[in-house]
Amino acid sequence: MKTIKVGIIGAGFMGTAHLENLRRIPGVEVKAIADIKPESVKILADKFGISQVYENWRELVNNPEIDVLHNCTPNYLHFEINKAAILAGKAIISEKPLTNSVAESEELVKLAREKKILTAVNFNYRNYPIIQHARQLIVSGKLGEIFLAHGHYLQDWLIYPEDYNWRVELETGGNSRAIADIGSHWCDLVQFITGQRIVEVFADLVIIHKSRRKPQSDVATFKGKEVTPDSTQCITVKTEDAGAVLFHLEKGGHGVFNVSQVSAGYKNGFDIAIDGSQMSLAWKQEEPNQLWLGYRDKANQILVKDPALLEADSRSFAHYPGGHPEGYPDTFKNLFLNFYAALRTGKLAIHEQNFPTFEAGLQENRIVEAVLKSHQEKRWIKV
């Protein structure tokens, strides 16, 4: 097996997650890592024995030894790096959002098709075995007609005005925060499970903290609670802390979800439920190995992940037997396994992939822009 050589751009929370799980993929070697913070990238490189370290991501992109790039940078860099990777002829896995605008994502999708470059966006929650099973239940018709989809994605890591992260600011995070950051995961998952796109939205967003205290030093994602207020400056906040979105699916189903980064006690509270004409299902990300199945005429059930009990097409996402839980890191592993398998076999057609490509990232940009427009104009907006 030929070794595929990988470069990671970004040494923060997501860069570390990618790096740790790439070590679980056969025939893949992380050869280089780049980050503008020399101390951060050196710590990560030393920890994982990576010999090639860059402070300038362009040097890594242009390294002829690298076959694949993982873009784990702040949002404002996604377009530029993803485009450079495609032009350099390298396969690319990007963190979401794919870019900060529909126009930029459309350009990337078009360019990747022209250059025949394999792409992926890290909507990793698709890759839980139970989620794959839930999708197969709907694909096989067991839920019947989809009536409703509902749920939420709630966090508390930005609950205080002293909490800060680069996502808070327009220049680095983009025009949307809670919707683009965590709402995008919820929207991607509901579309993946149901097999239907969101086609129309009505949104109500809110900025809870109109100003925040920005530290003079860098703050890692989810580490805002460690910041001390005596080293901060006041900044104006222009992106939403929370919101609610009504939506319509393309075959007529109705839905609603809430997002928040200011809900006390919710660390990563990602819940989703689908109600059909024959049965319902519900899933909680913090209990990822269980799927609730609801019925009108018989007792409800809790399905616990067991490859022997999953739908056939979802079993490959479960790597351990029943009673052996699989969690958040395994979602990265599953995406990477499928991406690198497609790269080895040369399967570039979108319909052949069992992971989200740049087209999925473009769809999320369209949803985010429709949500922002709906909030501003107080009306339904087509996606």
Domain ranges of the chain: 4-124, 126-325+360-382
Per-residue model confidence (pLDDT) at position 347: 82
Per-residue model confidence (pLDDT) at position 224: 53
Beta strands at 242-249 and 254-260: parallel, antiparallel or unpaired? antiparallel
At the fourth CATH level, the homologous superfamily of domain 126-325+360-382 is Dihydrodipicolinate Reductase; domain 2 (3.30.360.10)
Q: Which residues of the chain have pLDDT under 50?
A: 227
Query: Which two structure tokens, joined as six digits, stand for 22?
Result: 């790439």
CA atoms within 13 A on the CB side of 49: 2
Q: Give the architecture-level CATH label for domain 4-124.
A: 3-Layer(aba) Sandwich (3.40)
Distance of CA 167 to the CA centre of its chain: 15
Per-residue model confidence (pLDDT) at position 380: 98
Per-residue model confidence (pLDDT) at position 195: 97
Closest CA to 191 of 287, 117, 121: 121
- Give every CB contact of residue 64 below 8 A, 6+ residues apart in sequence: none
Specify whether the CB–CB gap between 156 and 266 falls below 8 A: yes
Per-residue model confidence (pLDDT) at position 321: 97
Q: Report how far residue 270's alpha carbon sits from residue 125's, in angstroms, rounded to the nearest whole number.
A: 10
Specify whether the CB–CB gap between 212 and 163 falls below 8 A: yes
Per-residue model confidence (pLDDT) at position 40: 87
Per-residue model confidence (pLDDT) at position 353: 82
34 forms bridges with which residues in the sheet? 9, 54
DSSP classification of residue 133: H
Per-residue model confidence (pLDDT) at position 171: 92
Q: Report how far residue 202's alpha carbon sits from residue 96's, in angstroms, rounded to the nearest whole number.
A: 22
Per-residue model confidence (pLDDT) at position 67: 98
Examine domains 4-124 and 126-325+360-382 and report if their fold is the same. no
pTM, whole model, 2 decimals? Answer: 0.94
